[in-house]
Copies of this chain bind each other. A is one copy, B any other.
C-alpha cells in the first residue's frame, strides 16, 4: 500500500471538525498540521486527531510533510490560501465559495487550471449517496434524455442577521449549492430566470436580501431546472431532487434518522422529523467527499464520480451573480460559463 496522504487543515471551526474526523477515519489519510488564527482551536483538534497546531496557515501549507490542504477557514481568506497552496504545488480541497467576488475568483483561475495536483471545491452534496445514485441512473439513461430537474432546498432557519450582512445574498450563499447540483446534471447552463421573495424575515429584508427564491435555469440542450429555496423550514432541512425525462422520473426525498413509522388515532404512518441540517443530512457525503479527494491525490481513477473543481466553483458563482441580477431586474439573464 502507498503512504497515507498528509493533510494540513486550515480552519478548525464546525466544518473544519467535520474534515478532521473524516481524515481520521480514512485509512489513507493522516492529519499533519491544523492551523487556526485562534490557535486554541487548532490545539484541541490535534489533541484529538494527532498532528501539530499552528496559528499560521501559510506555514502549514508550505510544510514539507504536507501533501494536501483543506481550506475550511472564513470565506474572505479562501483566495489567498488557495493561491498559496497552488504556488506550493499542494492538492487543495477548498470549502465553497471560492470568493463572493468573481474578479477575485478569476484572478486565480489560470493558476488553478494549470495545477498539477487536484483542486477540489467542497460541494459536498455531489457525494450524497442518494443524489449520487439518482445521478448515476440518469446518466445510465434510465429515464432517457434529462428534460427537467426539480431541486428543492430549504434551510431549517435563517442565519443570524450579522451573517446575512456578509453572506453575499441568498443566491451566492445558499443557492450556490443548488447551482452546483444543477450543473452536476446539466453542466452547460445558458439562461437564468430568478424570482426573489421576502416572505417572513424582516432582518433579511432590511439587509436588502431575499428569504426565499425560485430560480429557473435553462441548459444548452433545452433542459429546464427549477430551484426552490427558503431560508426556513419547520420540518427540518428540505433537500430533494426530482429528475424527469421521456422514460419517466427518478426522485430522492428527505431523509429521516430511522425508518420507524407510527400510527395513532390522529394520524397514520408518521415518520420521524427529517434530519435537522447539513451536518446530519450530509454526514456520509462529507466522508465520501474526503475519500474521493484522497483517492484523487493518490492518483486513483475517480472518473465515475469526479470531484467538483475550481471551474465548478466559478460557474456556481457566475450563476449566483446572474440570478441576483435576474431577480432584481425582473428579466431572464443569459450566461456563458465557458
Contact = CB atoms under 8 A, between A and B. Distances in A.
Interface of A: 25, 129-130, 133-134, 137, 142-143, 147-148, 150, 152, 154, 191, 193, 195, 197-200, 212, 214, 216, 218, 222-224, 226, 228, 230, 232-236, 244, 246-274, 330-332
Given A195-B193, A235-B249, A267-B273, A230 B260 contact: no
Nearest to A271: B268
Nearest to A331: B331
B266 A228 contact: no
Contacts of A330: 191, 193, 331-332
State the oligomeric state as a number of copies.
Answer: 4
A253 B242 CA distance: 13
Nearest to A200: B246
Contact of A261 (B244, B250, B264): B250
A214 B148 CA distance: 10
Contacts of A143: 234, 262, 264
Nearest to A137: B260
A246 B232 contact: yes
Closest 3 CB pairs between A and B? A248-B264, A330-B332, A235-B263
Given A259-B252, A271-B270, A264 B234 contact: yes
A55 to B, nearest CB: 26
Contacts of A130: 258-260
A245 B186 CA distance: 30
A200 B145 CA distance: 10
Given A222-B199, A235-B264, A268-B235, A253 B259 contact: yes
A39 to B, nearest CB: 22
Contacts of A129: 257-258
Contacts of A224: 195, 197, 199, 212, 214
